[in-house]
Structure formats: C-alpha cells, structure tokens
Chains A and B, each alone.
Chain A
Amino acid sequence: MYTQGLDSLGADCLHQATDAVTLEQRFQSKVDADDRIEPKDWMPDAYRQTLIRQISQHAHSEIVGMLPEGNWITRAPSLRRKAVLIAKVQDEGGHGMYLYSAAETLGISRDELLEQLLAGTAKYSSIFNYPTPTWADVGAIGWLVDGAAIMNQIPICRCSYGPYARAMVRICKEESFHQRQGFEIMMTLARGTPEQHRMAQDALNRWWWPSIMMFGPNDAASKHTAQSMRWKIKRFSNDELRQKFIDITVPQAEFLGLKVPDPDLRWDEATQHYVHGPIDWKEFEEVLKGNGPCNRERLETRRRAHEDGRWVREAALAHAEKQRARETQAA
C-alpha cells in the first residue's frame, strides 16, 4: 500500500527533494486545516510508522485486555453480571478487530501485527499486566481503566488519520457503556456488606496507580508527544489527560465512599485541580519491560491460544482451498 501510494504520485516526486518538501508541506497544511488524511493520501513515512505503532498497540491492548476480565466470566456472581461481562469482553474483541482493520489501511497485515505481539516486540497497555484476584477488580477495571481509556480516546475521535478517528467513534460509544457498568459494580459493592466494601476498596488500592500510569510518561519524558501533536494524532499531552482523569475520578471515589490511595492528594483552589503524589515510574518501567505481575502469563496465554488454534486455522484454509478447486472444476 505504501509503495502504491507513492507510485500513484508519479516517479518525478521521488527524484527531487524539492517535490518531497512540497508533499510534506501540503500534508501538514491539510493537517493544520483539520482535514482528514485517508489511506491513499501521501503521508510522511514517520507519520505512517507512528500510526502503525499506536493503532496496533491499541489493538493489542484490546485483545490482551480480554484476559484479565475474561478471568471472571465463569465466576461472575450473578447471571446478569455474567451476561454483561461476556458482552463486554466480546465488545473488546470487536474493538481489536476495528483497530487491526484501521492499521491494515496503513499497509501492514493483521498477521504481521499479531506476530509482533506474540514475539513480544509489540507493546500493549501496561495496565493489562495486573491481575484480577477478586470480583471487585472487574468493577475497578470498568470504572478506572475504561474511564482512563475513554479520556485517552475521545480526542482520538478527531485524530488526523480518518480510519483511526472513525474506529474510535464507534469504540468510545461502547467504552462509555462499559465504564458505567463498572461504576455500577463498584457502587453495589461499596454500598453492600462490609466484606463487599472492603473488596471494593482493595480493588481501588490496587488499580488506582496503574490507571494513572495508563496516560504514559510525564510530558518531559514523552519522546513522541511533540511530533504527534503537530500531526494531530494526539490532541492533548499525557499530563493534561492524566490531570483531567484525576479531576473527574476523585469525586466519583468520594461518592462511592472509597479512599483514593494517595496520601498527598489534595484539591488546589488556585489551579482548580487536584494535586497528586509522585508516580512510581520505576514500577511503570518494569511493567513496560516485561517484569510486571502478569506480563509473562498474558503473553503465554495468547501464544497458547494461537498455537492450540493453528490446526483450526489450517483446516479452514485447506477447506476453502478445496471448495475453490471444486468450484473451478464444476465451472
């Protein structure tokens, strides 16, 4: 797709640097005018690579994200909760599919992306390397993790790359439904028996900081931010989004009667924002490096599903091949 895109512009532009500059300028002015870039449009190679990286990481996160919650499908405490949870995990698989499709418009195949994930060379959201030891974790994930995801994703609905932006519009609708469900689980627990309340508080204690880390490194340490913002792949910085999340979520925790596990957290009248304590970036780095509590298990599970399913995929291909041969013969 990539070479095709360039070829369609004619050979001339490849030879002359001045034309390349013109292309780049034309591209940037399109972005500046809030026009959408579409798959067949010319785009800088770095823009294409950044998007492939970001969209595929996003897709992988949806797929790996099925595991921590899927962990509770067979044990959900009521049939209604079980139904909602299955529907939710199914939605996440669907989000993965939209996003792989969006990434494929950039000239990479889903199979290649999947290989990168299984080989451990592609990343996915650090949050899914945390375990779900209790039912309350399902609520906390819906409330905090989906809440943080929405905060991240709403601005992407206006991302300069059309297919990504459009995928995100559909995804955000479903995510906000998931988030409400998660909050409802937390509310039921927080207002339930003392045991349930304790379960909810314990889940908040474990998921708060990992959720805060979902926004990525501090702006000063974020190497992709400036360029991504110029290209309008990103609309707000990591710290801006993180602050927004905290400002919205702390009152929700108070409403639930739960305590945010940050002794330094306080409302600042002057800025009209919450001030939070230091983030443990060492932990964040360890999790990203593969040393989080469940990194190994998550990848192993994905690899096993892929390996165990190989004969099924091969059978489907072999059967399709046979069918084609029969049709050709019949014709």
Chain B
Amino acid sequence: MSAAAETVLSASADLRFRYAVHLGDTSLILAQRLGEWVGHAPALEEDLALANISLDLLGQARYLLSYAGEIEGKGRTEDDLAFLRDPSDFTNLALVEQPNVDFGHTLVRQFLIDAWQLELFECLQGSSEPRFAELAAKALKETRYHYRFSSGWMVRLGDGTEESHKRVQAGLDALWKFTSEFFAPGAVDEEAAAAGLGPDPASLRAAWAANVEQVLTEATLKKPADVSYRWYGKRNQHSEHLSRLLAEMQFMQRTYPGVQW
C-alpha cells in the first residue's frame, strides 16, 4: 500500500480511483469538445476564451486521471486512462459529450456545467482526501472564471437579438434533460459522499438551481420543464456521440500503442 493510500482509511482505493476517473472524465470530454472550436469561433476573443477554458478543464482532467492511476497502482498513466479505455469505461456526465452544434448550444452546455462545477468544487474543498480538496481549490478559481464567461454570454445571447434568443433557447431546451444527471444517484458519487470524499450529488441542486434561474431570468430565457431522463453517463450509459469523440481523440495511441510522444 502506497503512502497516499493510507491517508484515507474510510474509503477504499477502488472508490477513490472511480471517483477521480468520474470527475476527470467529465472535465476531459468537455475540454475535448471545446478544443474543436479553436480557430472557428465567432470572434478572436471568443477563440481565446474557449481555448482557455478547454485548457483549464484539461488541466483538471490530467490531475485527476494521474491521481487515479497512482491510486490504482497498476502503472496506468493519465494517457493510458484517457486514450486506452473504451467508451463503456468512461463515466463522464452525458451532458459534456453532447456536440457543439453552434455557439448557442456550446454556451448553454458550458453554463449548465459551470454552474454545477461551482457547487461541486466548493464542496469538494472539504473532501476527506487531501488530493481532491487540493484539486477543488484550484479548479474552483478556474470555474468562477468559466462561469463569468458563460453566464455573461447567456445574458448577451438571451437578451440580444431575436435570432440569438431563439438559438440559445433551443440549446437550453435540447440540453436541459441532461441536467437531471447532476443530482441523480449514481454508484460512484453516492459512495464517495458516504465516505466523505465528495458531496452528495442531490445536495448541490438548490444552489445550482438558484444560480441558473437568476441568470435565465436576466437573459429573458424560459426554464424548460423537467423531464424524465435516466441514461446517465456516470452509470456508463452514453449517447451515440461519445464513441465518435473517442475514436478521434484516441486514434494515435490506438494506432501506435506503447510509444512516447
């Protein structure tokens, strides 16, 4: 048993591994989606901002996946975990694997996840595992910036022109169903909560909803009705988009396995 594994006695290494992978996957897949924008954004400033957010999320993913590999103790690196797992092994939230579609959809996706990460990282700072607490403290600073960007654009687009309002409302309507996953039970985060590793997913709902509603009101957007949707990424149930995203992301490591880059 490594020194790090002894620090948290209440949680098994396996649980910490799975929790780190779950959080890491969410940041990684969203980083990948934002990376698709680079060079194609509506203005140079937005190109830079999207690249910047992508880079922050990628940093979080690298930290979490490296830690997961360490905990697992089988010698798997961040790259092994990112590039050599199959789609069914990924436990990212289904929302982040959704396609960019247009700037409106991209911003809605970003805003919904930023508002969730704000609450998540706030709570995760109190994790019984210092490595999670450390990650959360750093990620929270980044997320505040992301949230300022995405909520600012929600208002600009929602309360902009008729077309922008229509587009961002369409994005909101299309993506809303995926938000139920944030707060629904899933084996990993439920167990993590019980072990004091992270927050109970349901406990994040009230603050998230308050933030989201306030921004939607300012943006003159209509909050979609909650609908039942239970195919959750954190339960390894992914949309059709993930395998395609991974095919692109992983092809170098799959084609030329086991070499240094």
Contacts and interface: CB of A to CB of B under 8 A. Distances in A.
Nearest to B50: A90
Interface in B148-165: 155-157, 159-161, 163-164
Interface in B213-261: 248-249, 251-253, 256, 259-261
A289 interface: no
A81 B35 CA distance: 13
Interface in B167-206: 167
Given A81-B261, A89-B51, A93-B48, A70 B160 contact: no
A74 B32 contact: yes
A188 B102 CA distance: 37
Nearest to B166: A311
Contacts of A278: none
Given A93-B44, A318-B161, 19 more contacts: A66-B47, A74-B36, A75-B248, A75-B249, A77-B261, A79-B65, A86-B58, A89-B39, A100-B44, A193-B259, A301-B40, A309-B43, A310-B42, A311-B161, A311-B167, A312-B104, A312-B157, A314-B160, A318-B164
A93 B35 contact: no
A70 B58 contact: no
The 7 A-B pairs of least Cβ separation, nearest first, read A309-B42, A315-B160, A315-B164, A77-B252, A312-B42, A70-B39, A90-B51
A89 B251 CA distance: 21
Interface string A297-312: 0000100111011111
A239 B44 CA distance: 34
Contacts of A312: 42-43, 46, 103-104, 157, 164
Interface of A, secondary structure class, is helix
Interface string A60-87: 0001001100100111111111110011
A301 B78 CA distance: 33
17 contacts: A63-B44, A74-B36, A74-B248, A75-B251, A77-B256, A80-B62, A82-B58, A90-B48, A96-B44, A135-B261, A193-B259, A195-B256, A309-B103, A310-B42, A312-B104, A313-B43, A319-B157
B160 A318 contact: yes
B103 A319 contact: no
A301 B47 CA distance: 14
Nearest to A73: B35
Interface of A: 63, 66-67, 70, 73-83, 86-87, 89-90, 93-94, 96-97, 100, 135, 185, 188, 192-193, 195-196, 301, 304-306, 308-316, 318-319, 322
Scoring A86, A93, A312 by chain B CB atoms within 10 A of each residue's CB, the highest score goes to A312
Contacts of A74: 32, 35-36, 248-249
Nearest to A72: B252
B59 interface: yes
Q: Interface residues of B toward A: which range?
A: 35 or more
A56 to B, nearest CB: 14
Contact of B62 (A79, A188, A311): A79
B48 A94 contact: yes
A63 B44 CA distance: 8
A188 B260 contact: yes
Interface in B94-131: 102-104
Contact of A314 (B36, B62, B159, B164): B164
Scoring B59, B104, B157 by chain A CB atoms within 10 A of each residue's CB, the highest score goes to B157
A193 B257 CA distance: 11
Given A73-B38, A90-B48, A90-B51, A79 B58 contact: yes
A191 to B, nearest CB: 9
B247 to A, nearest CB: 10
Contacts of B156: 315-316, 319
A87 B249 CA distance: 18
B58 A314 contact: no
Interface in B43-64: 43-48, 51-52, 54-55, 58-59, 61-62
A63 B45 CA distance: 12
B79 interface: yes
Contact of A79 (B46, B79, B103, B157): B79
Contacts of B140: none
B38 A305 contact: no
B82 interface: yes
A66 B248 contact: no
A113 B192 CA distance: 54
Contacts of B46: 309, 312
Contacts of A79: 28, 58, 61-62, 65, 78-79, 82
A112 to B, nearest CB: 15
B5 interface: no
B161 A314 contact: yes
B10 to A, nearest CB: 30
B164 A66 contact: no
B39 A83 contact: no
A78 B78 CA distance: 9
A18 B87 CA distance: 77
B51 A93 contact: yes
Nearest to B42: A309
B41 interface: yes
Given A79-B79, A81-B261, A305 B40 contact: yes
